[in-house]
Amino acid sequence: MLQRLLPALLLASAAPVAAAASLDLAWWRDGKVQAVQLQQRSASALQPMAASSEIPLGSLWKLFVYVYAVDSKLATPDYNCGGRKQEEVYCCDAGGSVSRDAALAQSCGLFFAPERLGIAQKPWQEYWKRRLGSIPAGEFAWLADPARLEPARLVTLGSLLRVLASIPAASRTEAEAALLRVVLDGRGAGSVRWFGSQLRVKTYSWHHPKNEDARLGGAAGWLADGTPVWFGGSDSSTGIFQKWAPQIAAALPPVQPAEDSGCVVVDYFTRYPVRAVRTANGLAGPGALSGRYVVQFENGKSLPIRSSGELSLAAAANGKLQVRGRMGVNEYVARVIDREASTTEMEAARAFAVAARSYLQQNARRAESCQFITDSSATQRVSPNPASAAALEVARWTDQLVLDGAQVRYHSSKAGANVLAWSDAQAQARAGRSFDDILAAAYPGTTLAIAGNTGTACARLAKNEQWLAYALPRWERMLRREDGYEAPAQMPVVCALSAGSPYSEQSRNRIFMRPLSAREDRITLAHEYLHIGLRRHPRGQDEDYVERLARRLNDLSLEAM
């Protein structure tokens, strides 16, 4: 087992190593570093880190190379794995390749090697001069030479956060989209239930500079509003996410409303012909609508609406009046929540937001960079009034999250195959289920993905799943005697692992590993299955216990064969 550090991650003081009980968290806001120290158990409280505290750069250097390469429009060809370099374990299997975004999320250092990408020192310095106001020097000297961006390089916390703050929103866009994968299926797999899409960070793991046997891990990047953030403690980055995600999420500063992305055009009232739109002073004319109105329908009914210019009135090709709205994606999702659901049960509302955004992506037609959809009970009903603050908060918290793997539908009360029943979602939320669990129950076999980037996230390993199905009945007889074991309601899905170490995505009932070829692979499958079966019990986090039990289960399977 890796040793852990004393509560404070004050590297300059080289504190002795002991059981991990704290995590340092810092962000840059209002022109200064703001920091807190999170505690576990009965740890002695120490002062939060100062801006002058030194931390190892670790693999965060790849993030700065990524931003520079994108902004400078450098050619970034895929990296091809030949199987001869040990570091390729973070990139791809022998014979495979990895693209720029995947390389960032997976921390493939070979991809971002400055020499491979042809990054010279002079243009690199000029780029950062434009960002920082002068050529990197002093506390920014670590950024002066791309060839010296080494993981062991110590940098001050303040300088790291200030460099992150210097990168404008347009330059962050692509990096943030790639980094959202970290909480979905990267080193922070499964932590999306705590962060939603609010955390966009590059992970790092490195040695303590004074003790090679101790690990330092964490992540740095931005919150959804561009706030630079860093956190670190004594463990691998994966371990940090597993142990600290709920506390990190609770301690992060409130995320300020960000500019809504995307464009959705909604044709309102398509099943209810409009006779007139009236203001307090008479009939509204063609053009943008701003203020309070009453829409009168040909069936004799009427509806009061409000608009701040996002709605417009025009004559359709058939001569009938048409009310059309144009808005951002999160505003659209929030209006669907207001019209078809509610925010009374937060986790249910978050699940519904993902379902509504998924439906939009799957069913809207595209034209002129916008998504076009009708407001109809046959599609999605959309409120013609501005979204409520509560619904908009839910939409922003789930920004860009969609489901991949099935056509998404929902109903107020009737569940079905890939149909979310809103009443069931509310009941599950009241019972303590998180939004990702609610989605997994309604849409089995799907995965959470990023809108516009929903390629197959799970290449299923049929032989691994067949072997697990064969072994489970025998394992169950033993496992029923183990404290804390709960058989998953469905057989876990086993997915091909493209890089890194095998892991179980417990919230989605999935195991990522390589194809079975030897005894150790079968032990790995048993090991990751146990993490799922013991997910609600402390023993499920005891790696020694899980490994011993996995080997016993594997021996049991061999005896049966």
Under DSSP, is residue 24 helix (H, G, I), strand (E, B) or coil?
strand
Tell me the range of 214-223, 366-375, 424-433 where mean pLDDT is highest.
424-433
Query: Are the C-beta atoms of 208 and 10 separated by less than 8 Å?
Result: no
Q: What is the Cα–Cα distance from 157 to 334, expressed in whole angstroms?
A: 37
How would you classify residue 118: left for phi > 0, otherwise alpha for psi between -120 and 50, otherwise beta?
left
Give pLDDT, residue 350. 98
Give the contacts of 293 (CB within 8 A, at least 6 positions apart): 277, 278, 279, 284, 304, 305, 306, 307
pLDDT tens-place string over residues 215-267: 889 999 999 999 999 999 988 899 999 999 999 999 999 999 877 777 899 99
How high is the mean pLDDT of the chain? 87
User: CATH 3.30.2010 in the chain, residues?
Assistant: 462-560
Whose tokens are 């970290």? That residue is 182
Q: What is the Cα–Cα distance from 73 to 68, expressed in whole angstroms?
A: 8
Tokens representing residue 511 in the block: 């195991």
Whose tokens are 């004050």? That residue is 10
| Per-residue pLDDT band at 367 (split at 50, 70, 90) | low
CATH number of the domain located at residue range(s) 462-560 in this protein: 3.30.2010
Number of other CB atoms surrounding residue 424 within 10 Å: 18
| Per-residue pLDDT band at 16 (split at 50, 70, 90) | very low
pLDDT at 560 over 70: no
Q: Which homologous superfamily does the CATH classification assign to the domain defined by 11-251?
A: DD-peptidase/beta-lactamase superfamily (3.40.710.10)
Q: What is the Cα–Cα distance from 399 to 124, expressed in whole angstroms?
A: 33
Query: Are the C-beta atoms of 314 and 265 separated by less than 8 Å?
Result: no
| Per-residue pLDDT band at 456 (split at 50, 70, 90) | very low
Number of other CB atoms surrounding residue 250 within 10 Å: 9
Give pLDDT, residue 368. 55
Q: pTM of the predicted model, to two decimals?
A: 0.76
pLDDT tens-place string over residues 486-537: 888 778 888 887 655 687 766 567 788 899 988 999 999 999 999 888 876 7
Whose tokens are 């995590």? That residue is 23
Whose tokens are 């190892």? That residue is 56
User: CATH 3.40.710.10 in the chain, residues?
Assistant: 11-251
The candidate with the shortest Cα–Cα distance to 458, out of 194, 78, 184, 77, is 184
Query: Are the C-beta atoms of 10 and 156 separated by less than 8 Å?
Result: no
AA identity, residue 91: C
Q: What is the Cα–Cα distance from 170 to 166, expressed in whole angstroms?
A: 12
Q: What burial class does residue 89 get, using C-beta atoms within 10 Å of its C-beta: 0-12 exposed, 13-18 middle, 19+ buried? A: middle
* Cα angle value 135/137/142 (rounded, 5°): 105
Would strands 510-513 and 22-29 be described as parallel, antiparallel, or unpaired?
unpaired
The candidate with the shortest Cα–Cα distance to 189, out of 435, 527, 506, is 506
Q: What is the Cα–Cα distance from 26 to 160, expressed in whole angstroms?
A: 11
| Per-residue pLDDT band at 315 (split at 50, 70, 90) | confident
